[in-house]
Structure 1
């Protein structure tokens, strides 16, 4: 029996090795120009999985339509490519939910693994009259037009959605939100500090330097539970009684016709990386919080998230 177990173990290890060797040209497609979030996502996998394949994972840039060109290619000419994974973000999921990718939906790719995450934050300047989220929400309940919200994104963007979730949590119509769209987060922060807006819908990861400088304060983090240090002192919106959560997810998908063997090879590579302290260190260096999911768990989670986004977009009048 012992010999049989050893033989089975050897066979299993050999099969894993054979599967890994089938990934001849590992590639991460960043569906944008160099620089930015998709590039960062591919660099995470390039470094984090560097010892798990026979060669370095190549990063390829495929700009166009904030991911539309990439998802089209992986639903036409590269549906079964075992070598390539494509970077996605919560913005990609929002584009799927609102139909920005045309006929392609969440069922036309295989969601593979995460690189990590950031989380939304409700931010005010230090001398704001709002000391707690409750105070802000009380004013919104009385008169939603009394508060000016701003962020670095247009109506329907991720940042707008954060505000929409807050409005939905108190049964207010997101379409009535007084929202100022800036060209980017830096401009929105300048607007907050200059008094043009009352509340900034930002991300936790970008807040460190401003919190250290004492110019801004976080009223709530839009995560399901409190984040680790140095952000553990900031309460979530959920624990304060408001059902608003926004995870800025970064991860990867593959073509829908990729073999289970190739898909599982990549899943195993990520699961191995997640156990390595160096991967956690890499996430921290890239400004990401650990949110490690791969395979069926991630695929299920992403599809549930897209369904919620689609429902929210319909309620907000963004889609029919």
Structure 2
């Protein structure tokens, strides 16, 4: 049965093919008539039998829609949660696979307030925090690159003035220095562009996570929100490590400054010796948002 156009599983038992309009997290696809009966079945009155329209289910992110609430081994709904293995289990699993475990908790109780849980809020805040940190670093790098390019342009302007005063002497000097600037600037520029590209891609993934979280809160079942929160937490931790790994390299936030010095008294015999071309890298300071909205001053 295709996930995009499910059929009523109850009607299929009678060899009748009818499109499903309602989706139960336990019973799966139901047509309009069967969904009415479903509401009055005692065993289906549990919050675990959360229902949504098929159209709304299609809006759920794939990783949420694929979360199962039926045990693959025993074809029974998950009713318990094993704190030892951090996984849901059915009533049979608790006496077989988890026979030596203790501290079982009711899955219905655990997931009852999943949409309002502190863990979900933490993931939501974490996405916002990491997104803001990406923007802080990206803005810093763009500013650094603009400053570098402005300095290069200023250097070119100075060289043009010298060229006007001493055409024959400075023609070759201009070419030599520009070549040197470009040689230094090319890897620096490429590095900045690569960093901003990584941050842009990271921001896109965070936006996908934010959209998935929003849709999950609107249409996901309690268990899906509970399990999806864990998946989002794992994915968020991975993305945070990507940014932190990027910033561990001390060279990532280095600043390349250019100065140009000229001594007129040495003209024209030693003009090349009188021109001093220098580059310097300086540290910059960023204010990144940390966990629990604590701001820590970081320097590289």
Structure number with higher helix proportion: 2
Q: Which is greater in Rg?
A: 2
Q: Shared fold (TM-score greater than 0.5)? A: no
TM range (shorter): under 0.3
Q: Which has the higher contact order (CA 8 A, sep 6+)?
A: 1
Q: TM-score scaled to structure 1, two decimals?
A: 0.22
Structure number with higher strand proportion: 1
Q: TM-score scaled to structure 2, two decimals?
A: 0.23
